[in-house]
Structure 1
Amino acid sequence: MLPAPPQEWFSTWFDSPYYHRLYRARNDEEARAFLAKLLRYLHPKPEARLLDLACGKGRHALYLSEQGYDVTGLDLSPESIRYAQQFAHEHLHFQVHDMRQPLLTGPFDFIFNLFTSFGYFAQEADNVVALRNAAAALRPGGKMVIDFLNTDLTIRQLVAHETKRVENTEFRLYRHFQHDFIVKEIRFQDDEGREQHFEERVRALSQERFEEYFRMAGLRLVEVLGDYHLTAFDAATSPRMIFVLKK
């Protein structure tokens, strides 16, 4: 019998309660302010259909829904979607979905992929597959926003070791660059005192490589923004690469 293929890091870590514990202090106020600016920039029509692709526990999809839009949130983590379902209503839907699979819902006027929810896959070709699936779910003339870290700046500023205490858990974080990936190792003792080890791996994608992906997916790059205030991207100083794309 062939051995089972190794589990992808995100399929276990994102479903762990310790993932949500580590990141419980994420700045919701900053996220909502960013989304408000993004909506003013994109000015969707009131009847627009929006997709939050890799929606996590649904906080961004919920905000978009509160602005009056019909919103769908998709994420590969069953635990996250189970949590998000408490917010669902007639115009806010959540489903478990792997972005490497064709989308069964749509078409959408806008697709959002926010807060570095891309570039996780071991096989680089899967990035293009995911983008092609998203493009296929966009209406002609529809737009997609991909919010990614500024890779070069992130690598230059990488903090090699850090300790964070959240509730009763001390997380030991180790960061390094390895084989085209920015890697964060997460080590801690769980509530039963057992040592645990998880990883986060994000491919170190340059703007040029993203642009190559976009061409292969049939998406046209409209603009690159550099932060959550939507200022123009500067490769030397911007913390983010926020791509605005059009089908």
Structure 2
Amino acid sequence: MNLTSERNMSLDAIVYHSEENKSVTQAIQYSKTHDSSHRFLAYKNIPALLNKYSYGKKALDYGTGTGYSAQFLLEIGFDVTGVDVSKEMLLQAQVNYPHLPFHQIQNKEIPITSDTFDVVFSSFVLFEMGSEDEIVSYLKEAKRVMKENGVLVAVTGSENFHSPSKNWLSFRTDFPQNLNPKSGSLVKLYHRESDMEFTDYYWTEADYRNFFTKAGFHLEEVIYPLGEKDEPYVWCDEYTCSPFIIFVAKK
């Protein structure tokens, strides 16, 4: 998510597509989104999915941002490495999680040899890219570093994520650019828990399916995580409609 706050800050969250010169102050600001209800909802199915589809424990957090998702993978039993485009985000990741290895993506290439990882995890990255070519290139690079039986799990926004008609617990979406968006158009939301605004690119499930196919992946499963009554949050529309979509793809 591209971030702006009322203090006129601008930043790519969980970055693949971003400017490289992001300030450390902005990276610290983004860390405020770590302990948030939206991550609980987006990530709650991930342990079961990885247990179902992965054959090993070596994982890459592809677009780690300030490191939360890398730490998440570590806590569920994976040997994890985080990579990101932004030097400043990685510096903050190293402050947040000094026990984890992080590396900077250079020229859109992951600085790791091919056929290395059992799992590649992509969290809130795909909707940061505004063209088919960029997304397909990103996915192909994920495929390159995966082992032959590796799995890619990608979490991104659903088609309803930015809908102004939805009432989400974590987000406000009543912005004019969110009315009738087209594939690849910019959309906007406000994250209540961190007091930040984000801009993203709108893509449909059909768009994403096409991108995975063009990158040479085989989609195994598509999940829309929903809120439940026995969880630690009182959800709003999340009980019946998911703001997120999870793609599980095999090499």
Please confirm whether the aligned pair reaches a TM-score higher than 0.5, indicating the same fold: yes
What residue in structure 1 maps to residue 214 of structure 2? 216
Residues of 1 paired with 2:187 and 2:38: CA distance? 25
* Shift in CA distance, 65/105, structure 1 to aligned 2, threshold 3 Å: farther
Residues of 1 paired with 2:244 and 2:76: CA distance? 25
Measure how far apart 1:84 and its partner are. Answer: 1.6
What residue in structure 1 maps to residue 84 of structure 2? 75
Amino acid at match of 1:145: V
Amino acid at match of 2:163: I
- Say which is worse superposed, 218-227 or 28-37, in terms of deviation: 28-37
Measure how far apart 1:212 and its partner are. Answer: 1.0
* Shift in CA distance, 117/101, structure 1 to aligned 2, threshold 3 Å: same
Residues of 2 paired with 1:64 and 1:99: CA distance? 26
State whether residues 153 and 237 of structure 1, in contact with CA within 8 Å, keep that contact through their aligned partners in structure 2: no
Q: Pairwise mapping of residues 7-26 of structure 1 onto structure 2 (< 5 A)?
A: 10-11=18-19, 15=23, 17-18=25-26, 20-21=28-29, 24-26=32-34
Q: What percentage of aligned pairs have identical amino acids?
A: 22
Q: Does 1:176 align with 2:184?
A: no
Q: Does 1:243 align with 2:244?
A: no
Measure how far apart 1:222 and its partner are. Answer: 0.8
Residues of 2 paired with 1:72 and 1:220: CA distance? 24
Q: What SS is found at the alignment partner of 2:66? A: coil
State whether residues 155 and 244 of structure 2, in contact with CA within 8 Å, keep that contact through their aligned partners in structure 1: yes
What residue in structure 2 maps to residue 168 of structure 1? none
Q: Does 1:101 align with 2:102?
A: no
Root-mean-square deviation (CA, aligned residues, Å) is 3.8
What residue in structure 2 maps to residue 55 of structure 1? 64
Residues of 2 paired with 1:42 and 1:138: CA distance? 14
Measure how far apart 1:58 and its partner are. Answer: 0.6
State whether residues 81 and 96 of structure 1, in contact with CA within 8 Å, keep that contact through their aligned partners in structure 2: yes
Measure how far apart 1:120 and its partner are. Answer: 2.3
Question: Size of the alignment, in residue pairs?
Answer: 211
Measure how far apart 1:65 and its partner are. Answer: 1.9
Q: What SS is found at the alignment partner of 1:11? A: coil
Residues of 2 paired with 1:29 and 1:103: CA distance? 32
Q: What SS is found at the alignment partner of 1:109? A: strand
Among 117, 126, 136, the alignment partner of 2:125 is 117
Measure how far apart 1:31 and its partner are. Answer: 3.3
Q: Pairwise mapping of residues 88-237 of structure 1 onto structure 2 (< 5 A)?
A: 88-89=98-99, 92-97=100-105, 100-105=108-113, 107-114=116-123, 116-152=124-160, 154-157=162-165, 176-177=177-178, 180-184=184-188, 200-227=198-225, 237=241
Residues of 1 paired with 2:186 and 2:166: CA distance? 9
- Say which is worse superposed, 65-74 or 143-152, in terms of deviation: 65-74
State whether residues 103 and 137 of structure 1, in contact with CA within 8 Å, keep that contact through their aligned partners in structure 2: no
Amino acid at match of 1:226: Y
What residue in structure 2 maps to residue 167 of structure 1? none
* Shift in CA distance, 174/32, structure 1 to aligned 2, threshold 3 Å: closer
What residue in structure 2 maps to residue 189 of structure 1? none
Residues of 1 paired with 2:214 and 2:30: CA distance? 36
State whether residues 108 and 137 of structure 1, in contact with CA within 8 Å, keep that contact through their aligned partners in structure 2: yes
* Shift in CA distance, 46/70, structure 1 to aligned 2, threshold 3 Å: farther
Structure 2: 5+ residue stretches without partners: 1-10, 13-17, 191-195, 229-239
Amino acid at match of 2:215: A
State whether residues 13 and 19 of structure 1, in contact with CA within 8 Å, keep that contact through their aligned partners in structure 2: no
Measure how far apart 1:101 and its partner are. Answer: 2.3
Measure how far apart 1:61 and its partner are. Answer: 0.8
TM-score, normalization by structure 2: 0.68
Residues of 2 paired with 1:36 and 1:155: CA distance? 23
Amino acid at match of 1:72: T
* Shift in CA distance, 175/18, structure 1 to aligned 2, threshold 3 Å: farther
Between structures 1 and 2, the one with greater strand share? 1
